[in-house]
């Protein structure tokens, strides 16, 4: 009888244990608990003034608050001009995005497609359109939102960034990728790197340019001051965006100024264009931007002829007239248009238009300022036929490289106040950690809350998360159930 009672008690105990396990398995999906953490994806459209690009990012789902773990999977260039060019055809702006969205759907695994947060940020081109016609700008944003909404993504909205946001997010991108904000230490915890110097950001787009850096003095103008607390460290930054100082708008302003100074109403002598080059442009195309002051009696259909003279000295003089660097009666430190700017400090990454022009001229290897000037001057003296023979693949934009190079030098030296000594602090870069530099990554990190206000400490290679908590709960529940069952069965056999 005693043997029988113990057998019955054992059977009862086993039944109770398996019942508890069955109940737990019915509530918790074990495959989601014990399989390795999945990968997450994010999509960001950079809707610039001259073109749009889609960036696809990925990161381990269990390390969202780590650093250096977001990687760029793909960058897709959208065909056609920037979305602001579709002011009279808003549906066309949306349609232009679809080939890149189709490409993204082939890259992002199907099981993740309803999940990836997707954003569209528009910059200076749309800021200009909004200034001209706010209803047209809103309609363009509505249509691109409709197009993105047709895809299995978590569309989080399309909006126009402020200039200070564009500059700040670019700064976050650079310093996040280079791990100057936080990195994993030998003590196996995430912490602020000792003596880490954050880098400044220099961005040159088609319609605007931005400068962002950590100054060595308090920022006097609150309109140019940004405060961040990232990973438990405070950052007080200077940032400013100059609308109409992007390279496309600057070249348009330069052409308009040369036209208005020309003795002939139909002929423009252009010192920044190579000798032997000519182009025709209508008054309507030249004066179609709020950045360009039109003459009092414009004739839209009139065709103007620009003729290159290849004179770098005259080109530099003409470009300098685009800048107002007077600081006024207050005699404060300032940059372009009398805007307050403290002295530049630290190392800088110059990207986007800064990089592309200097890369073409082979000037991205930390050359001295005198070598840069010499290279630009030599290039600007070449005639058109010589340039076409040397760079046949670059013919579409070849006539602009001299103008843009001299504009960049003027912007950095006269506008942002770099000099012979601080010039060496500028690195012209396209990527950091195999990821394109720009505002898009910083924008996504901010909106997905992947940059915490305090650094999280955890074991290397493992970050506590929901799945780890679920495993702990299951183990504890099983152990508690077993103890209770055996205690109950033990007393029943007594």
Is residue 166 among the annotated active site residues?
Answer: yes
- Nearby residues of 152 by Cβ (< 8 Å), 6 or more positions away: 105, 113, 114
Model confidence at 408: pLDDT above 90: yes
Q: Which of 72, 45, 75 is nearest to 157 (CA)?
A: 45
Phi-psi region of 213 (alpha: psi -120 to 50; beta: other; left: phi over 0): beta
- Nearby residues of 105 by Cβ (< 8 Å), 6 or more positions away: 113, 151, 152
Span 470-487, average pLDDT: 49
The Cα 163–Cα 157 span in angstroms is 18
Yes or no: say if 321 and 283 are a contact pair by the CB < 8 Å rule. no
Mean pLDDT lowest among 218-232, 236-250, 440-454:
440-454
Yes or no: say if 344 and 414 are a contact pair by the CB < 8 Å rule. no
Bigger pLDDT: 401 or 493? 401
Strand order in the sheet with 200-204: 225-230, 233-243, 208-213, 200-204, 348-352, 426-428
Model confidence at 333: pLDDT above 70: yes
pLDDT band, very low/low/confident/very high, at 470 (cuts 50, 70, 90): very low
Q: What is the pLDDT of residues 353-369, one digit of tens each?
A: 999 999 999 999 999 99
- Nearby residues of 462 by Cβ (< 8 Å), 6 or more positions away: 62, 468
Model confidence at 194: pLDDT above 70: no
Query: Would you say how long the chain is, in residues?
Result: 494
Span 372-380, average pLDDT: 98
The listed range with the strongest mean pLDDT (6-10, 13-17, 414-418) is 414-418
Bigger pLDDT: 457 or 394? 394
Bigger pLDDT: 473 or 145? 145
Q: What percent of the chain has pLDDT over 90?
A: 66
Mean pLDDT lowest among 122-126, 131-135, 290-294, 360-364:
290-294
Mean residue pLDDT of the chain comes to 84
Q: What is the pLDDT of residues 234-290, one digit of tens each?
A: 899 999 999 999 999 999 999 999 999 999 889 999 999 999 999 999 999 999 999
- Amino acid 6: pLDDT: 52
Model confidence at 69: pLDDT above 90: no
Span 177-181, average pLDDT: 89
Span 283-299, average pLDDT: 85
Span 82-106, average pLDDT: 97
- Amino acid 35: pLDDT: 43
- Amino acid 430: pLDDT: 97
Span 337-352, average pLDDT: 94
Bigger pLDDT: 469 or 458? 469
Report which secondary-structure segment, H or E, holds 278.
strand 278-282
- Amino acid 316: pLDDT: 98
Yes or no: say if 152 and 169 are a contact pair by the CB < 8 Å rule. no
| C-alpha to C-alpha distances, 33 to 23, 109, 398, 462, nearest whole angstrom | 16, 20, 57, 14
Model confidence at 14: pLDDT above 70: no
Bigger pLDDT: 430 or 233? 430
Pick the catalytic residue: 64, 143, 165, 166?
166
* Phi–psi pair at 428, nearest 5 degrees: -90, 110
- Amino acid 484: pLDDT: 55
- Nearby residues of 92 by Cβ (< 8 Å), 6 or more positions away: 86
Model confidence at 61: pLDDT above 60: yes
Model confidence at 152: pLDDT above 90: yes
- Amino acid 463: pLDDT: 37
Mean pLDDT lowest among 11-25, 268-282, 411-425:
11-25
- Amino acid 66: pLDDT: 55
Bigger pLDDT: 71 or 211? 211
What residues form DSSP beta bridges with 270? Answer: 308
């Amino acid at each position: 009888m005693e043997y029988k009672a113990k057998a019955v008690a054992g059977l009862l105990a086993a039944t109770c244990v398996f019942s508890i396990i069955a109940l737990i398995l019915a509530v918790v999906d074990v495959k989601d608990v014990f399989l390795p953490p999945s990968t997450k994806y994010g999509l960001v459209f950079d809707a610039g003034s001259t073109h749009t690009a889609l960036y696809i990012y990925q990161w381990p789902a269990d390390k969202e608050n780590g650093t250096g773990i977001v990687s760029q999977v793909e960058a897709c260039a959208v065909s056609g001009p920037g979305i602001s060019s579709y002011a009279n055809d808003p549906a066309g702006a949306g349609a232009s995005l679809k080939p890149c969205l189709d490409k993204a759907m082939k890259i992002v695994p199907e099981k993740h497609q309803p999940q990836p947060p997707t954003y569209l940020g528009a910059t200076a081109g749309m800021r200009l359109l909004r200034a001209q016609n706010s209803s047209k700008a809103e309609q363009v944003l509505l249509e691109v939102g409709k197009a993105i909404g047709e895809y299995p993504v978590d569309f989080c909205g399309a909006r126009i960034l402020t200039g200070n946001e564009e500059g700040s997010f670019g700064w976050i991108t650079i310093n996040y990728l280079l791990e100057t904000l936080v990195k994993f230490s030998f003590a196996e915890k995430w912490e602020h790197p000792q003596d880490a110097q954050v880098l400044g950001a220099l961005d040159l787009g088609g319609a605007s340019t931005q400068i962002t850096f950590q100054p060595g003095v308090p920022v006097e103008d609150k309109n140019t001051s940004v405060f961040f607390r990232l990973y438990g460290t405070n950052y007080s930054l200077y940032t400013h965006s100059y609308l109409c100082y992007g390279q496309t708008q600057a070249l348009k302003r330069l052409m308009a100024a040369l036209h208005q100074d020309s003795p002939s109403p139909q002929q423009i002598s252009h010192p920044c264009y190579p000798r032997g080059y000519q182009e025709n442009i209508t008054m309507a195309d030249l004066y179609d931007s709020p950045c360009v002051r039109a003459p009092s009696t414009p004739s839209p259909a009139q065709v103007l002829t620009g003729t290159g003279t290849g004179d770098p000295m005259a080109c530099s003089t003409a470009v300098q007239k685009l800048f107002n660097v007077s600081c006024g009666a207050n005699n404060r430190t300032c940059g372009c248009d009398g805007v307050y700017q403290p002295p530049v400090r630290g190392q800088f990454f110059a990207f986007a238009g800064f990089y592309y022009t200097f890369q073409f001229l082979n000037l991205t290897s930390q050359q001295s300022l005198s070598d840069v000037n010499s290279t630009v001057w030599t290039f600007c003296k070449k005639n058109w036929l010589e340039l076409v023979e040397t760079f046949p693949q670059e013919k579409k934009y070849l006539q602009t490289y001299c103008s843009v190079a001299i504009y960049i030098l003027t912007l950095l030296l006269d506008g942002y106040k770099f000099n012979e000594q601080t010039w060496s602090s500028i690195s012209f870069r396209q990527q950091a950690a195999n990821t394109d530099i720009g505002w898009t990554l910083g924008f996504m990190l901010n909106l997905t809350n992947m940059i915490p206000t305090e650094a999280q400490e955890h074991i290397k290679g493992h970050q506590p998360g929901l799945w780890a908590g679920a495993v702990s709960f299951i183990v504890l529940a099983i152990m508690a159930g077993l103890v209770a069952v055996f205690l109950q069965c033990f007393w029943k056999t007594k």
